[in-house]
Every structure is written in structure tokens, then in C-alpha cells.
Structure 1
Amino acid sequence: MFWRKPLLPAVPLNKEIPLNTHFSNLTFTVFDTETTGFAVGASDRIIEIGAVQVKDRMVLDKTFQSYVNPEREIPPNITALTGITTKTVEQAPPFIEVIKDFFQYVKEGEANIWVGHYASFDLLALKKEIARNQYRVDFPICLDTLDMIGYLSPAKHMLDLEIYASQFGSRIYERHQALGDALTTAHLFCELLFHLEDRGKNTLGDLIEISNITKRNT
């Protein structure tokens, strides 16, 4: 008989949210991960998850942050980049405990949509870790600030979060730490929403369409 991986405790999905819902009526979870390296589709592991929530273009006070024990050494180049050492995470909980706490944070905040900067990297890291732990998850819609920037400023092709935050005049927090980058992304996201509304884009459907247009053109 075919064995199907068990489903992790559900995170709030958005399948029933009308596409014409104004984004001021949505709550977004803006998240980021730090990892042991950049091959998250293969052997690299998550070492930190950070998140903050946004509603009505305001960054809310309640945040989420946890180190993750990757059960392996953290390379010196990653320690130099993030400040996270093997000792930092050796007493941290394993991934499966952290992701359950993270999903609970999302659920308690009634955060309908996820947001990341270069979100495909972080989503891949999460999906690989979940699969490694022999679970599966139905993920909600996840928006990428890079797609919004690509729509507003098509000539921009960089990935650097700090550069974009500076260019759009939003706050910059401690870099290459999951919560710091999540906060920076959240403030950038709020600024991008103001720019999008100036162009008449103000609904969930608009945000999804912008994401799809950007992906079709890359």
C-alpha cells in the first residue's frame, strides 16, 4: 500500500479569500531563514527562522525568532556572514519543533499571506527540511518583494535586500540574521504597497497578478 507522508499542523490558507480583497484587510507574515550554505535544495540546512507580521501597511510588534539545530557544523564563511556559530545552535531545538512553533505563530496572527525577499530560496529550504523530516505541508500563497520591485522598476535585477531598502527609503535592520532581514523586508514591503496603490494596484488579485507577470517575463 502507498504510504503518504503525514501533514504537519495546518497553517492558515487563503483559498477562500476573494481576489478583490483590498490588501489593507489582509495580514501578511514576512519571514526569512538563515542556512548553513546556499545549496538548500541538496545538503544545506536551516539554522534560524525569523518573522514579523504586517497589516494595513504597518509592521506589527509581535515577532518570531528561533535558532535551529542543523545537526552539523556551521562553515566559517556562514559564521562570518551571519555571526551564527556551531555553539550558537548546539542547544537549539530541531527543525521540526521550530517549524511547528512558527506555524502556530502564523495561525495566531491570522496571517493569510506569506511574504519574503527572494522567497523561493526560503520556501525551498523549508520544503526540503519538512520533507527530510518525512512530513508534508500545504503552503499558503507566498509573495516576493523582488516581484513587486520588478513590476515597479523593471530595470532592477539585483537581489540585495539592503540596496532595495535604501532605494525605497525603508528601514534597515541587522543584516543576515533572520529576524533582522524579516523586519527589513517587512518595512520594504509596506513601502512597495504604497507605490503599488499609487498605480491602482491594491487587491490580493493584483499582488498575485504582479507576481505571475514578473515570473513570466524572467
Structure 2
Amino acid sequence: MRFWRKNKSVNCPLCYDSIPLSTPVEDLTFIVFDTETTGFKVGADDRIIEIGAVPIRGMQVRDEEFFQTYVNPKRQISQEISELTSITADKVEQAPEAIQAIQSFFDYVQSFEAVALVGHYVSFDQLALKHELKRAGRVLKGMQTIDTLDVIGALAPSYDMRDLERYAMIFGTRIYERHSALGDALTTAYLFTELLRLWNAKTWGDVISASLKSGS
């Protein structure tokens, strides 16, 4: 299924609004994702070079069902970014361009009937996706997200940092390869499940409450 077949609109395949608030959290599926980019100005010139994702079902991270793709940005990757992410020109040379990679990612999301996408500082990744689609003349709609920073803000309003690895250390969760989209998605997934346990989330309504009660 192509999510932009009509009216150049991209409907992210999520069902956030149709889930009863009383739905047990064990019955929900989340897709935790992350992107790597050529730089931090994704609202301007920087491009996506990797997308990684992993599902959470029944409050369990399903490591083996991951999604990962490199993305050809059609531009040079700086030495600084290559050193940070280990992504070189050779790795992206034969990779799909952004529009194809995002389509594959949304196909993956749809296959799980996920209720929402989860990320750490997710607004960055959301903006990266939106601008890649905008370059192709598409408009992204219906991308429901939950940010682990918001849940952390609900649990500990005094926290004001953003570093994923430090939060994982604080909450005692697994840390995977940093500055790898899949590695950061896995790290975020384990952090998110622990945050929901600490919040004592039993239902979809509890998850929504946790994501809205940020103290930041």
C-alpha cells in the first residue's frame, strides 16, 4: 500500500485516536524509531541517512523484529558525521532514496497495527521525515508520536537534559550502539517500557496521561 497515492498526502498508518482508553497496555503495540542524518538542520538542508525501528508488544521489546535501512541522501556525508555514526558514503551508495525508505518504514509500521510511534526527542525525527517527504511533494498527516522525554518529565520534572544514554543509565535499562538508528531505537524501547512500569501504566489512557503530564 502506498500512503501517498491520492492527493499527494502521506497518512502515517497509526490508529492512535481509535483505541479505547481502557485498553490494557499489554494489548498495545508501539513502534520505537530513530533516524540518523547528515547534520542537525533537518528543517533546512540536512538529510536522513538511516532509519531504525523496533516494536514493543505486550510491554516486551521484540528485538528480533527490527527494521533498519540506510538511506542515500544524494549528498556528501561529512567526516564528522561519519565518525559519529559510522555511516560512510559506501554504506549509502546502494541504499534507497528517502521516499522509498520511508515507504518501507510505513509498510513496516502498518504490519504491526501500531497505536503510535515512540522516540527520544521524537520531534527531531518527525521533522526529518516531514522534510524528506516535502522534498518529494508530499505532506505527512496523522503521525501520532510519544516522546520518552515527556514521560520522563512526568516522572521527574526536574530533569532537563536530553541525552538518551544518560537516561538509560539513570533508569538502569539496556544501552545499544549509540548514534546508530537501530541501536538508539533499541535503547529507547527498553527505556520506554521501564518508564511505563515506573508510571504504573495499566491502560492506553495511562500511557496518554504519562505522555501529556510533562513537567518541562
Q: Same fold (TM over 0.5)?
A: yes
Percent of aligned pairs sharing the same letter: 52
Aligned position for 1:207: 207
Unaligned 5+ residue runs, structure 1?
Answer: none
Unaligned 5+ residue runs, structure 2?
Answer: 1-5
Aligned position for 1:39: 41
Q: What is the 5 A alignment of 1:1-218?
A: 5-8=7-10, 11-60=13-62, 61-197=64-200, 201-214=201-214, 217-218=215-216
Give the superposition deviation at 1:173.
0.5
After TM superposition, the score normalised by the length of structure 2 is 0.92
Contact 1:28 1:54 in 2 (8 A): yes
AA in 1 matched with 2:142:
F
Give the superposition deviation at 1:5.
4.9
3-state SS of 1:39 partner:
coil
Post-superposition Cα deviations, 1:84-103, rounded to whole Å, max 9, x if no partner, equal 11222111110111111111
Post-superposition Cα deviations, 1:175-202, rounded to whole Å, max 9, x if no partner, equal 00000000010011111111011xxx43
Contact 1:40 1:124 in 2 (8 A): yes
AA in 2 matched with 1:108:
S
3-state SS of 1:137 partner:
strand
Q: Which range is displaced more, 49-58 or 8-17?
A: 8-17
CA distance in 1 between counterparts of 2:161 and 2:31 reads 23
Compute the RMSD of aligned alpha carbons.
1.6
- Count of residues in Structure 1 that have an aligned counterpart in Structure 2: 210
* Closer/same/farther in 2, CA of residues 56 and 132 from structure 1, 3 Å limit: same
* Closer/same/farther in 2, CA of residues 10 and 144 from structure 1, 3 Å limit: closer
3-state SS of 1:162 partner:
helix
CA distance in 1 between counterparts of 2:83 and 2:44 reads 22
Contact 2:11 2:143 in 1 (8 A): no
